[in-house]
Chain A
Amino acid sequence: MKRQIMLIAGLQFMMACGLAGATNAQQQPEASNMRLVGMNDLQARSAYQPTIHHQGDRWIAYIGHHGGTDEIPSPVNPMTGKAEPNGTSIVDVTDPVHPKYLRHIPGQEGKYEGGGAQMVRVCDGKSLPKADSAAVYMLRTFGSEAHEIWNVADPANPVLITRLGGLKDTHKSWWECDTGIAFLVSGAADWRTRRMTQVYDLGDPAHPVKIRDFGLPGQEPGATGAVPTDLHGPISTGVKGNRVYFGYGTNKGGILQIVDREKLLKGLAAPTPDNLRYPEIARLAMSSWNGAHTTFPMLQMPIAEFAKDKEGGKRDIVMLVDEAILNECAEPRQMVWFADVSIESRPMMISSWTVPEASGSFCQRGGRFGAHSSNESMDPVFYEKMAFIAFFNAGVRALDIRDPYHPREVGYFIPAVTAATDKRCVVVDGKDRCKTAIQTNNVETDARGYIYIVDRANTGLHILELTASARAVAGLP
């Protein structure tokens, strides 16, 4: 008995010292001006994009997942008792204190980025021009091979409506819920890039209409020479704004491409270099050391400092977020950039922001440290006032962006690891050295002011709210 106690004590000591298996796990949440409201473990599936949809009198979170891990390629869904490849989690977050897991829709078999169903967008049938007004449509990727549209009017019992397959990759698409126009990040088989844009009219989700393929000249079929960097994702400002902001690159060679939406939709569809150049208004090329994961437009922002200036008191701003991809700082810092695109032909980078590494010794914590993505909701509760940045092992960071020339942090939240949190490894002297760390991958907000963060390392969904002075920035009581 004494020997057993000694053994247990020894193991506990080893774990405390970080000597057993994965090391340095962060056991307590860290927070400033943000508070945990509720959480769900998402069946310990690696999470990518959350979309929060106000559906009747309910609030539903649709969350995309990466593929499984080497150890658990297909986690068991406790609701069915079956092993299911990671796909889409549907969670009722009407009561954010007690989120209720409704349904898991399996995705493509495969591990990490090689499977799952990472991306999700949701539109009401009543807002789409030619759809069933009683339906609610969820657009999602199916791993790398397809886009799918499901009717989720009953979110616990989704029904597959449409599938657009035959692709070699997919990623973070955009769907305009008023026009039905979708900019689908796809890998068309004959293009020279894994990710380009397929523009579809999904106004009637049951009958998709292809409009055209689009990308950077050099990516099209039959081109020669250097291949411009892959697309990561677009964000459209719709008919009114008439612009689509495309972000290319992940952690290298980023490009912000500003495109005239109408010319894109109505220009000649054949993928010739001239036709691909026709709708482009301007590009902002970033350094080879930074990519453009998210390109989030905030147009006509009033800048207090410029209020008395005869011109330029309102600025068109695009927030660019890079994606860190390597563990333990094995790459240049990936962070947040603000571009002033008021003079569209001369977009200019005006500021940047990163988490100070020394504030948490983040390069030593394990996993990725750096930016990945921002919230993409344009609901007035936070739009053009605050931005929330998923920063991997530094959790989510809340920025006051009312003066985008001088963004400043007003809060943060780093969840505690759980038993489900997966390890992250680097190779040192030929051997894996693993640590367990939070990997906040994506963030979204809802019109009630809740902030939803999801974890790439299987820790699940955390629902947060602002506290203290951070609430004042957004004008929240």
Chain B
Amino acid sequence: MLGRVAVCVAALAGLLTAASDSAPDWQRIAWPFTRDAWPEGRAWRSDVIEVYVRPKIGFCNCTTGVADDEEVDRVSDVDLIDERFTPLQPGREIRIADLAGRSRLYQLKMPNGSLRAAEAIALSRKCDLVVALLSGDATDQTRHGAHEFLASDAVMTWVHDVLQGR
């Protein structure tokens, strides 16, 4: 009996964890990139797009924030997929939850040679940076949905925990 209760509690806890970690339609996946200078981020996948997010503590200009498109080129993680990424258009200012920065669309060459569009987002808070990469279906509707997911508690609670040293 005690064993069944324990199994049920564990299962419920697992469901609660999954529910709190992933909004509907989004599934947490492993960080897919090799180790570099920054700690691993977190990654999620929906049916049509993947989202990679990671804070970079102390990497932003404390006074100017993310100032221009060149800064998005420089600080975002778009090179993790394709080092020769090509911008498709000028970037734009963006706000995700309480973080402000810039977003830019790129064309990437995937390992199999196919071309794919991706959106890189660089956000700042004081001297810290948060970057996100959206890779997959690049339609406005899909990306808008991904922006809403980025602003959700599933992502922002973790982001703020990292930024606030928890």
Where the two chains meet, the residues of A that have a C-beta atom closer than 8 Å to any C-beta of B are 110-114, 191-194, 224-227, 252-253, 288-289, 325-326, 330-331, 426-430
Contacts and interface: CB of A to CB of B under 8 A. Distances in A.
Given A252-B37, A325-B58, A430-B165, A227 B87 contact: no
A246 B165 CA distance: 35
A224 B86 contact: yes
Contact of B166 (A113, A191, A325, A429): A429
A256 B87 CA distance: 29
B73 interface: yes
B37 A114 contact: no
Interface residues of B, number: 24
Contacts of B92: none
B87 A430 contact: no
A111 B63 CA distance: 8
Contact of B74 (A110, A193, A224): A193
Nearest 8 A-B pairs (CB), nearest first?
A: A114-B63, A288-B37, A226-B79, A252-B37, A430-B164, A427-B165, A227-B74, A225-B84
Interface secondary structure of B, over-half rule: loop
B165 A253 contact: no
Contacts of B70: 191-193, 227
Nearest to A115: B63
A227 B84 CA distance: 10
A330 B58 CA distance: 10
A362 B125 CA distance: 27
B16 interface: no
Contacts of B158: none
A28 to B, nearest CB: 30
Contact of A224 (B62, B63, B87): B87
B26 interface: no
A227 B37 contact: no
B81 to A, nearest CB: 11
**Residue of B163, B164, B165 with most chain A CB atoms under a 10 A cut-off:** B165
B85 A430 contact: no
Interface string B76-100: 0001001111110000000000000
A114 B62 contact: yes
Given A112-B63, A227-B70, 17 more contacts: A111-B62, A112-B62, A191-B70, A193-B70, A224-B84, A224-B85, A225-B79, A225-B84, A226-B83, A226-B85, A252-B37, A252-B38, A326-B57, A330-B58, A331-B58, A426-B165, A430-B164
